[in-house]
Amino acid sequence: MLYLPTRIFMGSSALSQARQYIRNLGKKALIVTGKSSALKSGVMAELLPLLSEEGIAHSVFAQVRENPDLGSVMAGKDQLLCTGCDFIIAIGGGSPLDAAKAISLAAANMLSEDQLYDETLRKKSYSIVAIPTTHGTGSEVTQYSVLTNTKTKIKAGFGSDLIFPRLAIVDARYMRSLSSTVSLNTSMDALSHLLEGIYSTNRQPLLFPLIARGIGLIVQNLALCLKEPDNLPAREALAQASLFGGIAIAHTSTTLQHAIGYPFTTEFGVPHGLANAMFLKQIMKLYTPAIKPELSLLFDKIGMSQDEFMAWLDGFPIGLKVDLNGIDLEAWMAQILSSRNIQISPVIPTADELRDIIKSVQKV
Ligand code: NAP
Ligand code: ZN
């Protein structure tokens, strides 16, 4: 079964095509964004005149930082309620998009920080327009919001059909201002999502063509895009791959591949995409015996062998090493093994296997 209630617009006229739908969403938009991505990407320069021509007022909440925390969600909720906004436009990478989804639920249901993860309290939401400015998370087409609890230092996601964006406006022109580091990391995130669409025990054969196409687009365009950041066709290919990755995980969810990276982000500040990338090879190796037919089909479709894919990965600076001395690895492992992503992994690692995978990134 496939379910995707988001209306998707792609390409350099995406925003103008979406205009007639934005018009119907409300009279005042809360624009949820980060420090500068809405400006640097060029989205604001195109969006603000459109809103004003449509008679839609707005209030800007530009306080979302990377790996958004519960506090910023509460601040966004207060601003939405105080300013009388009646829908949300989220602009940026996965961080502002995910924060916007949580703000929507928190404001519509008057939820406190502690109530956000309680699905029984989610009855309604404010409509969301998602305008991604990175090509990684696919959050513009998912029902997930991933937040960090700064008190417990735990990063965890939740899913609710109420927070699927109503509109996704995917225009790769907005991604040309990305640094090469963020371009690389976010593409690796998209690659992880696409692979997890195959890894997950919730895998859906209907999605396989989309997944193979997405991975092929990344393999063919990532190096080119890093060399030529202004290359629009290359950016478009990566934006499409990211969207396909989002569509994949909206149906399959993520696996150990994601769960293992979260503590590296909260403890060491490793960017989300890189936290996935540093374990891509190890996780593929762990899963391969359990999903050989699916992987052979995938690599046949992409036109490369699994070994060639691994060698292609080696061409990128993703082999980050960190100092794990002083980390309570057993506590990390307990956290990883209890995450909701684990049960749908094709292989649940033993404690020894998981410890070995984590230790493979130990700085020597
Ligand atoms: P991000 O944290 O949203 O942004 C990373 C950096 O890139 C920020 O400094 C941001 O600046 C900057 N940036 C964004 N767009 C830019 C542009 N066009 N030009 C210049 N700089 C730009 O990165 P992300 O990797 O897209 O999102 C990661 C988050 O998404 C993580 O919290 C992850 O867990 C979550 N995630 C969610 C899903 C989902 O389905 N919901 C899936 C995967 C990951 P600003 O500070 O100005 O914004
Ligand atoms: Zn991800």
Nearest residue (by CA) to ligand 1, atom 4, is 93
Task: Using the mean position of ligand 2's atoms as its centre, give its distance from the Cα of residue 113 in Å.
Answer: 23
Nearest residue (by CA) to ligand 1, atom 30, is 94
Nearest residue (by CA) to ligand 1, atom 9, is 66
* Exposure b/e, 160-169, CB count within 10 A at least 16 = b: bebbbbbbbb
Of the three residues 174, 209, 244, the one that is the final residue of a domain is 174
What are the structure tokens assigned to 225, written together? 């895009």
The predicted pLDDT at position 321 comes to 96
Task: Give the distance from CA 27 to its chain's centroid.
Answer: 28
Assess whether 154 and 279 both reside in one domain.
Answer: no
C-beta separation of 166 from 7 below 8 A: yes
Q: Which domain holds residue 143?
A: 7-174
The predicted pLDDT at position 182 comes to 98
Of the three residues 133, 155, 174, the one that is the final residue of a domain is 174
C-beta separation of 158 from 118 below 8 A: no
pLDDT level of residue 340 (50, 70, 90 thresholds): confident
pLDDT level of residue 21 (50, 70, 90 thresholds): very high
Assess whether 195 and 336 both reside in one domain.
Answer: yes
133 lines ligand 1 (CB under 6 A): yes
Assess whether 160 and 76 both reside in one domain.
Answer: yes
Assess whether 123 and 155 both reside in one domain.
Answer: yes
SS3 87: strand
The CATH number of residue 112's host domain is: 3.40.50.1970
Assess whether 319 and 185 both reside in one domain.
Answer: yes
The predicted pLDDT at position 152 comes to 87
pTM of the shown model: 0.97
What are the structure tokens assigned to 274, written together? 């890189």
Assess whether 202 and 96 both reside in one domain.
Answer: no
Task: Using the mean position of ligand 2's atoms as its centre, give its distance from the Cα of residue 136 in Å.
Answer: 7
Q: Indicate the Cα dihedral angle 267, 269, 274, 276, nearest 10°.
A: 30
Q: Is 97 contained in some domain? A: yes
Cα distances (angstroms) measured from residue 163 to each of 62, 143, 158, 212, 250: 20, 5, 10, 27, 12
Assess whether 79 and 191 both reside in one domain.
Answer: no
Assess whether 227 and 289 both reside in one domain.
Answer: yes
Nearest residue (by CA) to ligand 1, atom 10, is 37
pLDDT level of residue 154 (50, 70, 90 thresholds): confident
346 lines ligand 1 (CB under 6 A): no
Q: Which residues, at least 6 apart from 141, have a Cβ–Cβ distance to it below 8 Å?
A: 4, 6, 8, 130, 164, 165, 168, 243, 246, 247, 250
189 lines ligand 1 (CB under 6 A): yes
Assess whether 51 and 36 both reside in one domain.
Answer: yes
SS3 49: helix
Number of domains in the chain: 2
182 lines ligand 1 (CB under 6 A): yes
The CATH number of residue 294's host domain is: 1.20.1090.10
* Chain position carrying tokens 């937040």: 147
132 lines ligand 1 (CB under 6 A): no
Assess whether 196 and 260 both reside in one domain.
Answer: yes
Of the three residues 122, 151, 174, the one that is the final residue of a domain is 174
Which residues have beta carbons under 5 A from ligand 2 (an ion)? 189
What span, in angstroms and rounded, lies between the C-alpha atoms of 104 and 127? Answer: 7
- Ligand closest to 193 (CA) is 2
The predicted pLDDT at position 315 comes to 97
